[in-house]
Amino acid sequence: MALKCAQCLWHHTSHRRGGCKTMQQWWVYMVECADRSLYTGISTEPARRFHEHNTSPKGARYTRARRPVRPVLLLPGGDRASASQLEARIKRLSRRDKQRLLAALQAEKRQQPLSVWIEALSEP
């Protein structure tokens, strides 16, 4: 017997492309483009999305003109709404703050939740 999603009440097996969209794990990612600019996005399939950014016409218009891109950040975003909110918060950061975020995460210096850390960067 197939499970039912409590939110959409559909059988998971009847959903297209990987089951119920309300129960999928969303990811927030950042890529560095060939011109060293940073692009942030969300996806349920980050590997497919990285491939699209590098080779497919489905890649974002911004990255299509700046190939190749390489992934520099991948964070679990929970549901789509949460991932979109985190993406928006990261996009609001300055380039310098994004680089500081990447450096802190890479060096594992972060002791607080990511959302608290981003808020601290955003303060004047």
CATH number of the CATH domain containing 91 = 3.40.1440.10
Residue 117 has what pLDDT?
Answer: 53
108 found inside a domain: yes
How many domains are contained in the chain? Answer: 1
Nearest to 87, CA basis, from 46, 34, 33: 46
User: What is the distance between the alpha carbons of residues 65 and 28, in angstroms, rounded to a whole number?
Assistant: 21
19 found inside a domain: no
User: What is the distance between the alpha carbons of residues 56 and 95, in angstroms, rounded to a whole number?
Assistant: 26
Residue 115 has what pLDDT?
Answer: 54
For residues 44 and 74, is the Cβ–Cβ distance under 8 A?
no
94 found inside a domain: yes
The residue range of the domain holding 79 is 24-122
79 found inside a domain: yes
16 found inside a domain: no
Residue 113 has what pLDDT?
Answer: 55
Nearest to 78, CA basis, from 86, 67, 70, 66: 86
Low-confidence stretches of the chain (pLDDT < 50) are 1-4, 6, 13-14
User: What is the distance between the alpha carbons of residues 110 and 62, in angstroms, rounded to a whole number?
Assistant: 30
